[in-house]
Amino acid sequence: MTTYKAPLREYRFLLQELFDVGELAKLPGYEDATPDVFEQVLEEGAKLCEEVLFPLNRSGDEEGCTFENGVVRTPKGFKEAYDLFRQGGWTALVCDPEYGGQGLPHTLQFLVEEMVSSANMSFGMYPGLSNGAYRAIWHHGSAAQKRKFLPRLVDGSWSGTMCLTEPQCGTDLGQIRTRAEPAGTDGVYKITGTKIFISAGEHDLTDNIVHLVLARIVGGPPGIRGISLFIVPKFLVKDDGGLGPRNGVRCGSIEHKMGIKASATCVINFEEAEGYLLGEAHKGMRAMFTMMNAARLGVGLQGLALGETAYQTARQYAQDRLQGRALAGDKFPDKPADPIIVHPDVRRMLLTMKAYTEGARALAAWVSLALDRAERDPDPAAREEADDFIGLMTPIIKAMLTDNAFAATNLGVQIFGGHGYIREWGMEQLVRDSRITMLYEGANGIQALDLVGRKMPMHNGRLLRRFFHPVDAWLRQRLEKPELQEFVMPVMKAFGRLQQVTALVAQKGMADPDEAGAAASEYLRAFGLVAMGYLWARIAEIALGRLGGDEALFYKGKLATARFYMARVLPETNTLFVNIAAGAKSLMELEAEAF
């Protein structure tokens, strides 16, 4: 059985020590979002996740969703848990008060999403998709569309989906065949086509499901330029807000998956379904990216969340499991054997998990605070700066945090030894669940191409400067502090080499796109490792000043993990930089037929 307790002390450290969440209350509309409110909400969220959602995680995995006669049923207990979730206002946390939301910051939502996914990732998929649909309609919908759909998405009585993928195309959305034909009323279309891999596409948790569907208006431009976005509800909505007849939307089947088995992944067929144009015709990707970018950050959080559960579970097992004796002599002579946490290799694995997870949480919090500034800061320049930073970091959050999650969950299995391979201990489920995070919402290789192909050159490198300049300034300000040298110097060296390879990738990529493509994944990982290294250096600075207080053990753990990161994790960048410099030749010279 896995172990999970919401890491509330970690949240306080991030919000009140590493960052200053109190600054959010100075932004318009966030006046009530004080640190005390954050703490109260997180404490209540912890109870829900630990007591309601977490106990359903294993049973949900074993039972899975069922499909019969077009009806999808979620596992036992999910409907009751969802009703509690909705009644508690968790679907409304960051939504606009005009539509029944609480108007709280994205930073708070990020931490709640982490707790939900740590406790039960499959469950979290349902409200997570709904929040993405809410955001797309809130940003791009007409006033009438907002009044019609948002209140029910906000209160959770309706849910939402994102319908992109088709059998013949995943990432290459220019190949979409789902068509939209004008229905004779302005903005109303008949949607026909098939979508696959639709998370939460059909289920028994809500009264209605609001599908956001990419389709091509008949006669529109070819390729990606001809894609539009439509709101297609499962049940039509009457003028008074009540539910009308069933729309032409049917679930054809559900997938039988390696993981997240309690999340319904559906084939959805649209048969002249009534849909409503969202945003401008032929500009669907612009609107859909509002949802996709939020989803990519959310998937990164899923990775962080699974890494946290794996770490907590493996830590507990390593402290309890008696096996062998410490290499340097008995540590617990009164016991038949020492706990395996005395062994260097077990410590290596646990510290890797801890460094990945706590570093990921710091990185996610840094980006989530920028999300709030981008939306609420009254200064346009500050909003632009925050938005640039989010754009740069989104592919890194998605890919880096999910790659590390799969590594961390696998390390957890290794710590358990043979028991890690056995279902009843729960570790193998975390591995299976974490694997999808590297694939959906844009496979991690696609995230790397987005970083080097779009974000790096955007606005003549302006997005890169949003990271490079503050990191450089912080490092230089601390060069003369002897107590920080063991943390600052490794990061400064890796940071300098990151800047060098950035210029190299940009230069070689302009001459040959394959050069950028060949470097992309390793460049993204190197960037992420340096970003985490910078945050671990900041964490170490705080911990050094607080070793003498009542929580000395907590800060000692931070300091030791920061040292481990600098000594054993950050040096991975050396190999990455060598691989980046090696170029594309060794990857591209072999003819496809010779593989």
pLDDT tens, position by position, 211-263: 999 999 999 898 888 999 999 999 999 989 999 999 999 999 999 999 999 99
Q: Would you say 200 and 126 are in contact if contact means Cβ atoms under 8 Å apart? A: yes
Query: What was the pLDDT predicted at 269?
Result: 98
Secondary element (H or E) of residue 466:
helix 462-477
Please name the amino acid found at residue 349: M
Rounded Cα–Cα distance for residues 56 and 67 (Å): 20
User: Which pLDDT band holds residue 38 (cuts at 50, 70, 90)?
Assistant: very high
Q: Are residues 127 and 221 in the same domain?
A: no
**CATH, residue 34:** 1.10.540.10
First to last CA, the chain: 43
Please name the amino acid found at residue 79: K
Q: Are residues 136 and 94 in the same domain?
A: yes
Find where tokens 């032929």 sit: 282
Domain termination site, one of 96, 121, 145:
145
Rounded Cα–Cα distance for residues 527 and 145 (Å): 41
Find where tokens 């990732």 sit: 121
Is 496 a domain residue?
yes
pTM score of the predicted model: 0.96
pLDDT tens, position by position, 390-443: 999 999 999 999 999 999 999 999 999 999 999 999 999 999 999 999 999 999
pLDDT tens, position by position, 551-592: 999 999 999 999 999 999 999 999 999 999 999 999 999 999
Is 404 a domain residue?
no
* 29 secondary structure, DSSP code: T
Domain termination site, one of 235, 265, 283:
283
User: Which pLDDT band holds residue 493 (cuts at 50, 70, 90)?
Assistant: very high
Q: Which two tokens stand for residue 7?
A: 């890491």
Q: Are residues 129 and 196 in the same domain?
A: no
Span 360-385, mean pLDDT?
Answer: 97
Q: Would you say 249 and 270 are in contact if contact means Cβ atoms under 8 Å apart? A: yes
Is 100 a domain residue?
yes
Is 432 a domain residue?
no
How many CB atoms are located within 10 Å of the residue 534 CB?
A: 26
pLDDT tens, position by position, 55-102: 999 999 999 999 999 999 999 999 999 999 999 999 999 999 999 999
Is 246 a domain residue?
yes
| pLDDT cut 70: percent of the chain above it | 100
Catalytic site positions: 441
Secondary element (H or E) of residue 371:
helix 344-376
The residue among 573, 251, 307, 264 whose CA lies nearest residue 437 is 307
**Residue 356: partners with Cβ closer than 8 Å, 6 or more residues away:** 307, 404, 405, 407, 408, 569
Q: Would you say 157 and 130 are in contact if contact means Cβ atoms under 8 Å apart? A: no
Q: What is the mean pLDDT of the chain?
A: 96
SS3 242: coil
Residue 19 has pLDDT above 90, yes or no: yes
Query: What was the pLDDT predicted at 172?
Result: 85
For CA atoms 424, 75, 82, 158, give the dihedral sign: positive
Q: Are residues 137 and 164 in the same domain?
A: no
Query: What was the pLDDT predicted at 66?
Result: 98
Buried b (16+ CB within 10 A) or exposed e, 136-175: bbbebbeeebbebbbbbbbbbebbbbbbbbbeeebeebee
Q: Are residues 484 and 560 in the same domain?
A: yes
Rounded Cα–Cα distance for residues 406 and 435 (Å): 6
Q: Which two tokens stand for residue 518?
A: 């060949």
Rounded Cα–Cα distance for residues 233 and 237 (Å): 8
Span 113-132, mean pLDDT?
Answer: 97
Rounded Cα–Cα distance for residues 533 and 362 (Å): 11
* 220 secondary structure, DSSP code: P
Query: What was the pLDDT predicted at 173?
Result: 85
Residue 286 has pLDDT above 90, yes or no: no
Q: Would you say 163 and 200 are in contact if contact means Cβ atoms under 8 Å apart? A: no
Query: What was the pLDDT predicted at 130?
Result: 97
If one counts the domains in the chain, the total is 3
Distances (CA, A) of 69 to 72, 151, 262: 9, 30, 19
Number of H helices, E strands in the chain: 17, 11
Is 293 a domain residue?
no
User: Which pLDDT band holds residue 290 (cuts at 50, 70, 90)?
Assistant: confident
Q: Are residues 212 and 271 in the same domain?
A: yes
Q: Are residues 203 and 229 in the same domain?
A: yes
Distances (CA, A) of 417 to 259, 405, 448: 21, 19, 33
Residue 338 has pLDDT above 90, yes or no: yes
Residue 186 has pLDDT above 90, yes or no: no
Query: What was the pLDDT predicted at 288?
Result: 81
Q: Would you say 487 and 541 are in contact if contact means Cβ atoms under 8 Å apart? A: yes
Q: Are residues 13 and 138 in the same domain?
A: yes
Q: Are residues 120 and 234 in the same domain?
A: no
Q: Would you say 479 and 491 are in contact if contact means Cβ atoms under 8 Å apart? A: no
Rounded Cα–Cα distance for residues 419 and 428 (Å): 9
SS3 327: coil
Report the C-alpha dihedral over residues 429, 423, 253, 234, rounded to 10 degrees: -50
Query: What was the pLDDT predicted at 291?
Result: 78
Q: Are residues 14 and 140 in the same domain?
A: yes
Is 261 a domain residue?
yes
Q: Residue 582 belongs to what domain range?
A: 457-589
Distances (CA, A) of 551 to 6, 13, 465: 18, 12, 37
Q: Are residues 32 and 131 in the same domain?
A: yes
Buried b (16+ CB within 10 A) or exposed e, 192-215: bbbbbbbbbbbbebbebbbbbbbb
Is 319 a domain residue?
no
Rounded Cα–Cα distance for residues 314 and 422 (Å): 14
Q: Which two tokens stand for residue 487?
A: 């943390």
The residue among 515, 513, 486, 487 whose CA lies nearest residue 501 is 515
Buried b (16+ CB within 10 A) or exposed e, 440-455: bbbbbbbbbbbbbbeb
Span 326-332, mean pLDDT?
Answer: 93
Domain termination site, one of 95, 114, 145:
145
Residue 185 has pLDDT above 90, yes or no: no
Burial of 77 (0-12, 13-18, 19+ CB in 10 A): middle
Residue 549 has pLDDT above 90, yes or no: no
Residues shown for the chain: 595
**CATH, residue 252:** 2.40.110.20
Phi-psi region of 64 (alpha: psi -120 to 50; beta: other; left: phi over 0): left
Q: Would you say 41 and 389 are in contact if contact means Cβ atoms under 8 Å apart? A: no
Q: Would you say 340 and 323 are in contact if contact means Cβ atoms under 8 Å apart? A: yes
Query: What was the pLDDT predicted at 556?
Result: 98
Find where tokens 């980006």 sit: 367
Q: Are residues 461 and 578 in the same domain?
A: yes
